[in-house]
Structure 1
Amino acid sequence: MRYSSCLRAALTGAAMSVAALALPAFTLPAFAAEPIRIGELNSYKAQPAFLDPYRKGMQLAVKEINDAGGVNGRPLELISRDDGGNPGDAIRVAEDLVTREKVDLLAGTFLSHIGLAVSGFAGKRKVFFLAAEPLTDKLTWTDGNRYTFRLRPSTYMQVAMLLPAAKAAQRKRWAIVYPNYEYGQSAAATFKKLLKDAQPDVEFVEEQATPLGKIDAGPVAQAIADAKPDAVFNVLFGPDLAKFVREANTRGALEGTHVVSLLSGEPEYLDPLKDETPVGWVVTGYPWYAITTPEHMAFLSAYQKAYGDYPRLGSVVGYTTIKSIAAGLNKAGSTDSEKLVDAFRGLQVTGPFGPFSYRASDHQATMGAYVGILALKDGQGIMVQPSYVDGASVLPSDAEVKALRPATD
């Protein structure tokens, strides 16, 4: 396959020293105009696997934009802070960015409960906020507000992308395992509803809700094995996923089961599994080595040139976050929050996955995701048979959104 040589190069790159992968010193060109200050906050210490590449993606986009003359003649300046992985700390950080740092807008967040906290702050303070990563559906629906937009496909969208594989398997007895906080709870509830609507005779025979980052994987895997499901929906990610897969493999807990899994094809979470990769899982993810569209090839080339490393999904999200902000600022012709909100409603953006837009009805971007099957190649997990699912194809209609979202505009 065409991507095999890319994968070998990537694995070589992954073995490079930390010093070799240090962020390059991006020197900004001289500008006479005052910079546009982007206040960005995220759980960098708590979620480094995703957020270190995310930061690199942001910085690459800032450099490209500033090298091209900035936005309306003004350079972008990125002011990043760690939110501590705690909603209270995140609100304090957001307040500091707005009042002391005098940022023009807010962006970022990873964990869903953090995103909701910052969104609430943005709504009260009437500050524009682009939520880059948090996936909870509440962010753009039940808890949505005028000042918050979201880039990544939500839990509803990604579950809907996996639903065809779940339906096609025609399995009746399902188990679910998820991290017990807003994102996991939202994903599990959405999956149960959508699958039950599509397959009324389905049974959910086991449900394991684990503490984020503190999974006791042995008992969790054993409980699923004891329930004897013929299919499993997994929402775990990061170290929790790796521990669960190892215990499930050791105990044979998933033998003969059909597994669909959110996020497990993202390099951040797939690469650490190595030869323990669970072959045959249907997943959402990012097969960077197999995407040959012009937009992605240009991004891949620029990223590898800047960092000597292959991108992760976080890299795409960080890069596209900044590109979205630049497009919105350019359209608005201003940093005023009200004008930015109006500019983002229907905003057209082109990112590494191609063109997409931000819907006026719920402020959700239509950027999609890749769905594929996990396989092993040369001792490393990869996604095979990947296909891109346009986010617009799995979103409720504007009319349906009216019943989901408060009238905040």
Structure 2
Amino acid sequence: MLTRKWIRTVLTPKVLLQGILAKGILATAALGAVAGQAARADEIRIGEINSYSALPAFTEPYRKGWQLAVEEINAAGGIGGKTLVVVSRDDGGKPADAVTAANELVSKDGVALIAGTFFSNIGLAVSDFAAQKKILFMAAEPLTDAITWSKGNRYTFRLRPSNYMQAAMLAEEAAKLPAKRWATIAPNYEYGQSAVAVFKQLLSAKRPDIEWVGEQWPPQGKIDAGAVVEAIDAVKPEAILNVTFGPDLVKLVREGNTRGTFQGRAVVSFLTGEPEYLDPLKAETPEGWIVTGYPWSAVPQPEHAAFLKAYQARYNDYPRVGSVVGYSMIKSIAAVLAKAGSTDTEKMIAAAEGVAVDMPFGRIVFRALDHQATMGAFVGRTALKDGKGVMVDAVYRDGAKYLPTDDEVRKLRPAN
């Protein structure tokens, strides 16, 4: 487990020839050996920040993904002949620690840009830092709409499909359900609040007959699942929107299964089809939930086949969504750097606006209008197979098709 340590990943063709990759060893240096050193002329440094100790189920695969991308890029000659170096920090799930890490990466370690973060509140904090310090920030995971809209800035770009995009995908399916009485369960912080608000907005627009009969807002990481399902049962909904994830999801499902909360009720759930969150449910996986996720063994895109082969060869494991996000984050940064031909922030911003990137789900574009990538997500249902949770009937939804109009985005995003 990483706690407040730097990771310096440098893999050159010479190192590859020495067999480092074959042994699965990455070049790393502790804080004292790296901090304060200026970037060499033959390297480009990226500062990376994430909640490694707070949410290892997602961030460990994510780290493997970005490490694989760095290895591939450097083995192919780097960026314009320069070695790509990632200097990584653990924010511990705390916005203040993330900002401190970002400041040290910029002021002491000479990074050209910052990338990463998981939790939405942390992403917003680092985004604000990027705007103040005028440094590019590639937000990999935070899903809050605010990061590209109401609190968006010209220095911040976001990779993953936002809450709005995933809510639009799920609302499209939810609108087909006969259910009229809906209740919601979501963690009580920026991500959960944003997801519930936009899902309600989009589903109610499609189905004006919908009635919202109850809300539960457990604290992130501290859900009292018994109290939550008891409160849900009390309002007698016909359908439930779930936004909990990680250990909270496991507790919610276990308690809900015990009490029969999900029986006879439709459930629509953000992220639950992602292996990070589906795998821990094991035989307790509820069947038939409509979810966004990642059916890693059944992705039809040819780009994914190449990624899957490389990932399994490197780690002897299957990828999670975090793996795809980490890998695609570095590939996106490499595309920006190659297009810019420079690490000058203004040139990188100009290059990032409209840049096209080939990722495991196909080609995506970072929109100039709001700096949102068009990465999509899979929508399907949960099922049990051989005592394990799986995602079935999954269809990839192109993120570009689930965004509001340009005029609507302009109203949402401040001029900057």
TM-score normalised by structure 1 residue count: 0.92
Contact 1:33 1:75 in 2 (8 A): no
**2:300 counterpart of 1:292:** yes
> In 2, distance between residues paired with 1:84 and 1:381?
29
Across the aligned residues of Structure 1 and Structure 2, the Cα RMSD in angstroms comes to: 1.3
Post-superposition offset of 1:378 = 0.2
3-state DSSP class of the match of 1:37? strand
TM-score normalised by structure 2 residue count: 0.91
What code does the residue aligned with 1:363 have? H
What code does the residue aligned with 1:407 have? A
Could you tell me which residue of structure 1 aligns to residue 17 of structure 2?
A: none
3-state DSSP class of the match of 1:372? strand
What code does the residue aligned with 2:120 have? S
3-state DSSP class of the match of 2:234? helix
What code does the residue aligned with 1:116 have? L
Give CA deviations for 1:54-81 in whole Å, capped at 9, x if unaligned: 0000000000000000011101001000
Could you tell me which residue of structure 2 aligns to residue 236 of structure 1?
A: 244
Could you tell me which residue of structure 2 aligns to residue 203 of structure 1?
A: 211
Could you tell me which residue of structure 1 aligns to residue 143 of structure 2?
A: 135
> In 2, distance between residues paired with 1:23 and 1:267?
26
Post-superposition offset of 1:170 = 2.5
What code does the residue aligned with 1:329 have? L
> In 2, distance between residues paired with 1:367 and 1:184?
21
> In 2, distance between residues paired with 1:399 and 1:183?
24
> In 1, distance between residues paired with 2:58 and 2:236?
33
> In 1, distance between residues paired with 2:276 and 2:330?
20
Moved beyond 3 Å, runs of 4+: none
What are the residue-to-residue correspondences of 1:10-409 with 2, within 5 Å? 24-26=24-26, 33-408=41-416
What code does the residue aligned with 1:74 have? K
> In 2, distance between residues paired with 1:402 and 1:159?
20
Post-superposition offset of 1:396 = 1.2
Aligned residues: 384
3-state DSSP class of the match of 1:169? coil
Post-superposition offset of 1:380 = 0.5
Post-superposition offset of 1:177 = 0.1
Give CA deviations for 1:323-378 in whole Å, capped at 9, x if unaligned: 00000000000011111110010000010000010000000000100000101000
Unaligned runs of 5+ in 1: 1-21
Post-superposition offset of 1:26 = 3.9
> In 2, distance between residues paired with 1:136 and 1:292?
28
Contact 2:63 2:323 in 1 (8 A): yes
3-state DSSP class of the match of 1:77? strand
Post-superposition offset of 1:83 = 1.1
> In 2, distance between residues paired with 1:26 and 1:397?
44
